[in-house]
Amino acid sequence: MRLEGKNAIVTGGGSGFGAGIARIFAREGAQVMVADINAEAARAIAEEVGGIAQTVDVADGASVAAMTQAALTAWGRIDILVNNAGITHLPKPLEDVSEEEFDRVLAVNAKSVYLTAREIVPQMKAQGAGAILNIASTAGLSPRPRLNWYNASKGWMITATKAMAVELAPAGIRVNALAPVAGETPLLSSFMGEDTPEMRAKFLSTIPIGRFSTPDDMGEAAAFLCSDAASMITGVAMEVDGGRCI
C-alpha cells in the first residue's frame, strides 16, 4: 500500500503502459483517474481498478483543464500526475515525416507536459506536495534511426523533467521520468514498422535482458518513484530497459 491515500491521474491510461501503471497504483492503494482519448478504453480500465474514467485529448488545453477540474471535483486534491499518453510516427527517413505527423507527435508527447503542468502544478504548489512522472523513452537517450522526431520529443521530455524538478523542488513537488525500452503495447508495431518475428528478433537483440518491457514493469517503477519511499529522488530519468542503454 505504498500509495495509500494518494490521488493519481494517469494519462493514456486506457492501454499499454498507462493501464499497467493504473493497475499497480490501484493495488498500492491510490485512487486513480484513468484519462484517455479513447473513452471506452478508459472506462474499461477504470472499472477494473475501481477508479474514475475521463476522456481527454492531452494536446488540447481545454480538454486538459476539464480533466483537472473533474479530478478536483472528485477528490479535492491531486497528489500524482503521470504524463504517459504518447504517440509516434512510423519509421521513415527524417525528411519524409510530414509536417502534420511532426506536429501531432510534438503536441501529444511534448505540449501535453506543458498543458498538464499549467493546470495541475498550481494545485500541487497550494498543497505543498506532489509527484509528477513523465513517461519518456530510451529513444530520448539512445535514439534509433528512422524515428528521428519521436526520439527528439522524448529527449525534450527528459530535459523538461529535469528543468521542472529544479524549479519545483522548493514547492515540495518532485518530477521524474521513466525511460522504457519498446514494450508489449499498441505502439510496438508502429516502432518496428511491421510486427514480424524477424523484426521482433532484431529489436530484442539490442536488449541484454532479452525481452520487451511490460506494463507491470512500468507500473512497479512508477509506483516507487511516486511513493514517499522516493522522497529524495527528483529529476531522474530512470531506465526501465533491460540494459539497452548500457
Catalytic residues: 150
Element (H, E) at 240: strand 237-240
| Separation CA 223–CA 219 (nearest Å) | 6
Please identify which residue in the block is written with the cell numbers 475501481: 50
Helix boundaries (H) for 138-187 = 148-168
Q: Are the C-beta atoms of residues 118 and 102 closer than 8 Å to each other?
A: no
List C-alpha distances in Å: 160 to 131, 141, 175, 188, 237: 15, 14, 9, 25, 11
| Amino acid letter for position 74 | A
| Separation CA 121–CA 139 (nearest Å) | 27
Half-sphere exposure of 55 (CA within 13 A, CB side): 3
How many contiguous H segments (helices) and E segments (strands) does the chain have? 9, 7
Tally the residues of the chain: 246
Q: Which three cell numbers stand for residue 219?
A: 507500473
